[in-house]
Amino acid sequence: MKEDREIYILDTSALLTYIEDEDGSDYVENLLIKAEKGDVLIYIAFISLTEVFYITTQEKDEAEAWRRINLIQSLAVRIVESDENLNLMAGKLKATNTISLADAYISAVCQEYAGILVHKDPHFEKMSPLIKGYKLPYKTV
């Protein structure tokens, strides 16, 4: 396996884009295929599982939430759990930016692994160049 692989971090919005086959899901799917082949690395912050679970439970039901969690866990991604370093990085990001705590953890993972954040959240754009990102198409109503 190559050590110079590109690293991507999937925000919760990217996961939901893929799962719900929204505009931009093909980009996420292509990354996942590359990760399966070992061409890129993909990380997901632990908090994104929490967000997918509660959003899906609220919008659909708990059975669907569990189905989605199982799907995510079956993908070629690495789930980054919380530790003291990540907690402090997220705390600093939360203190200095107008973002949610979940987005502070996702941003901390992005910084920790020097990855490209795949998202559709406009507030991440304001964090450039601190956070490198790839913006998926926003949802249209």
pLDDT per residue over 86-141, tens digit each?
999 999 999 999 999 999 999 999 999 999 999 998 878 777 677 888 889 886 65
pLDDT per residue over 64-94, tens digit each?
999 999 999 999 999 999 999 999 999 999 9
Query: What does the pLDDT average to over 32-58?
Result: 98
Note the pLDDT of residue 123: 78
Residue 36 has pLDDT above 60, yes or no: yes
Say if residues 102 and 50 touch (Cβ distance below 8 Å). yes
| Domains present along the chain, CATH in parentheses | 6-135 (3.40.50.1010)
Q: What is the pTM of this model?
A: 0.92
Say if residues 129 and 113 touch (Cβ distance below 8 Å). no
Residue 55 has pLDDT above 60, yes or no: yes
Note the pLDDT of residue 141: 56
46-59 vs 101-112: helix axis angle to the nearest 10?
140
Q: Where are the beta strands (DSSP E) in 16-72?
A: 40-45
Confidence of residue 2 (pLDDT cuts 50, 70, 90): very low
Note the pLDDT of residue 134: 85
